[in-house]
Each structure stands twice: as C-alpha cells, then as structure tokens.
C-alpha cells in the first residue's frame, strides 16, 4: 500500500491578462500550499480496473472525479496493465477555490508513479496533468510557484514567510467557469504580482500581506455576499491580510501569531461550517 497527501493551495495573487482564442484566460498567479490535506492510498489490483472509494457520499467516484481521470491518464500514457484501488479521504472543502480536486488528481499521479515503479519525473507528470485541469500541474509539485499560461506553466519559487492561515468557506460553492464567464477585463483592478514576488524573495511577511490580490475576487463577491463579509470580518479581527482564494468562495486570513489566528477563527466560525486554522507549507 502506498500513501500520498494532497495539500490544498491558496492564491497569494491571481491576475487574468487576456482571454485566449481557446476560451481560457491567460493567467499569472502565485500559489502556495497549506497544511489542510486530503489523504489517498493506492493498492495494486488483480484485474485491470480503476476502483475509487471516497469517504463522502456526495462526491462521485467515477470519471467525474479528477482522481479517477488522473488514474486513467496514467494507465493509458504509461501502458499500465494492472488495475488500482484508490481510497480518498476528503478534508479539503469542495468547489472552494482550494484546488482540492486538482490536488487529489496530482497525488494520484505521484502515487501511481511510485506504486508501479515508473520513475517519471515530477516535471513530466506536471506537463502531462495539464490535459485534465489547469491547476493540477501546480499541485503535482505541491510547493510554491508562479503559474502562467492557463495555469500549467510552472516556475517554482522559494518558500514564502511562514504564517498561520484561517480558512473559511461560505456554505454554497462557486463554479470556476461561471466566475470566469462573469469576468469583465475592462474593469480596472491592480494585482500586485511583482510586490508579492519581492516579498517572497526577501522573506518579508508584511510586504506579502500587503501584496495579496485576486482579480476574480470582485467578480465572485458580486455573486456571493458572504465573501466580502468574511473578508471584512477577518481584517477587523486582526488578520494581517485577507483574500479570496482562486475563483472562490473560500476566504483566508493571514496571521503571524497563533493567538491572533485563534481570535480570527472565533470571529468567523459562526458564519460558515468550514473554518480551519492551518499553517502555510510552501
């Protein structure tokens, strides 16, 4: 039996540069991983099937699940004859902007790479994974990176200054295609990518907090009022910075000290069911 952890990610920045001919948006985003993990196990089978067990009944265990699609992609690309049983223990909220499904897919590719002794580099797995989702190539590395293209062009970055992260996901999820569909690129919004890169390079926590910016945030805020309320609540209760992650609706707040993080947690824990205090992994 092989085990993998699949960490969630947060966006420190997310910029959308233009809409491409293929319908995707050209992005530039800095992402880092946090200590909120799904757990997966992998076991070889006697037959050639992919069997996925998920501990949450509302999550599909067939081709609608990115982990299943990742297993199929691995089997077909590397001509793996033997089947695999995958058990997925979900902790990361779904449809949240935390790349939970993408991280499960990435962990499946790493797990099968080890289970079948393939010795494929992370770089190759990352490139391959772009076929099934834009956030998976980042998740294959599971560290910190600036991601360009439609998300699949990865440049690894140093670990950002370590921080406490309070995660709060409003109860209704948001759909990524819907948010991108509502995006109006003519509306001005400043994304502080360069400042964030400087902050990471210099290990400057305060500058990192000031640089948090996400071009999709106003779009999602217009569709779900809870997002702005959570963000204001976190800032009013001492977060050093707060931002919506990805296309939302999850909002996170950064805190230097654990006590400060617990205070923010207490302030927002009545607002929604999914609230966590974690640390950056990077």
Half-sphere exposure of 141 (CA within 13 A, CB side): 24
Identify which range of 4-12, 20-28, 103-111, 249-257 contacts ligand C5P by CB under 6 A.
20-28
Q: How far is the CB of 102 from ligand C5P (least distance, A)?
A: 7
Q: How far is the CB of 269 from ligand C5P (least distance, A)?
A: 30
Q: Does 69 bind ligand C5P (CB under 6 A)?
A: no
Q: What is the 3-state secondary structure (H, E, C) of the chain?
A: CEEEEEEEEEEEEEEEEEECCCCCEEEEEEEEEEEEEEEEEEEECCCCCEEEEECCCCCCCCCCCHHHHHHHHHHHHCCCCCCEEEEEECCCCCCCCCCHHHHHHHHHHHHHHHHCCCCCCHHHHHHHHCCCCCCHHHHHHCCEEEEECCCCEEEECCCCCCCEEEEEECCCCCCHHHHHHHCCCCCCCCCCHHHHHHHHHHCCHHHHHHHCEECCHHHHHHHCHHHHHHHHHHHHCCCCEEEECCCCCCEEEEECCHHHHHHHHHHHCCCCCEEEEEEECC
Q: Does 177 bind ligand C5P (CB under 6 A)?
A: yes
Q: Quick one: which of 151, 170, 241, 248 contacts ligand C5P (CB under 6 A)?
A: 151
- How far is Cα 250 from Cα 231, in angstroms, rounded to an integer? 10
Q: What is the pattern of x (binds ligand C5P, CB under 6 A) and - over residues 109-138?
A: ------------------------xxx---
Q: Among residues 149 and 282, whose Cβ is nearest to ligand C5P?
A: 149
Q: How far is the CB of 176 from ligand C5P (least distance, A)?
A: 4
Q: Quick one: which of 9, 25, 69, 169 contacts ligand C5P (CB under 6 A)?
A: 25
Q: How many residues bind ligand C5P (CB under 6 A)?
A: 11
Contacts of 206 (CB under 8 A, 6+ apart): 240
Supply φ then ψ for residue 236, to 5 degrees.
Answer: -65, -25
Q: Among residues 180 and 205, whose Cβ is nearest to ligand C5P?
A: 180
Q: Quick one: which of 6, 8, 10, 27 contacts ligand C5P (CB under 6 A)?
A: 27
Q: Does 189 bind ligand C5P (CB under 6 A)?
A: no
Q: Among residues 153 and 208, whose Cβ is nearest to ligand C5P?
A: 153
Q: Which of 15, 135, 226, 240 is catalytic?
A: 135
Any catalytic annotation for residue 226? no
Q: Does 160 bind ligand C5P (CB under 6 A)?
A: no
Any catalytic annotation for residue 135? yes
**Residue reference for tokens 């992005």:** 27
Q: How far is the CB of 98 from ligand C5P (least distance, A)?
A: 13
Q: Among residues 8 and 272, whose Cβ is nearest to ligand C5P?
A: 8
Peptide bond connecting 249 to the previous residue in cis, omega within 30 degrees of 0: yes
Q: How far is the CB of 29 from ligand C5P (least distance, A)?
A: 9
Q: How far is the CB of 151 from ligand C5P (least distance, A)?
A: 5
Q: Does 176 bind ligand C5P (CB under 6 A)?
A: yes
Half-sphere exposure of 205 (CA within 13 A, CB side): 12
Please list the active-site residues.
9, 135
Q: What does the binding site for ligand C5P look like in residue numbers (CB under 6 A)?
A: 24-25, 27, 133-135, 150-151, 176-177, 180
């Amino acid at each position: 039996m092989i085990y993998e952890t699949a960490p969630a990610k947060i966006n420190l920045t997310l910029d959308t540069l233009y809409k491409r001919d293929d319908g995707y948006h050209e992005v530039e985003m800095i992402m880092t991983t946090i200590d909120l993990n799904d757990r997966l196990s992998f076991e070889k089978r006697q037959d050639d099937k992919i069997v996925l067990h998920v501990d949450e009944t509302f999550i599909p265990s067939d081709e609608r699940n990115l982990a299943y699609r990742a297993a199929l992609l691995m089997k077909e690309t590397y001509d793996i004859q033997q089947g695999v049983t995958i058990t997925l223990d979900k902790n990361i909220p779904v449809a949240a902007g935390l790349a939970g499904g993408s991280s499960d897919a990435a962990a499946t590719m790493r797990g099968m790479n080890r289970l079948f002794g393939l010795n494929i580099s992370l770089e190759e797995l990352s490139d391959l994974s772009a076929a099934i989702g834009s956030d998976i190539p980042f998740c294959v590395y599971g560290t910190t990176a600036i991601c360009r293209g439609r998300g699949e062009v990865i440049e690894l970055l140093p670990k950002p200054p370590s921080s406490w992260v309070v995660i709060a996901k409003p109860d209704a999820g948001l759909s990524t295609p819907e948010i991108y569909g509502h995006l109006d690129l003519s509306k001005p919004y400043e994304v502080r990518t360069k400042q964030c890169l400087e902050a990471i390079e210099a290990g400057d926590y305060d500058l990192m907090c000031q640089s948090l910016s996400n071009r999709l945030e106003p779009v999602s805020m217009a569709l779900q009022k809870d997002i702005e309320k959570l963000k204001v609540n976190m800032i009013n209760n001492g977060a050093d910075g707060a931002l919506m992650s990805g296309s939302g609706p999850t909002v996170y707040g950064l805190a230097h000290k654990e006590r400060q993080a617990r205070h923010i947690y207490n302030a927002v824990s009545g607002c929604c069911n999914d609230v966590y205090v974690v640390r950056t992994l990077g």
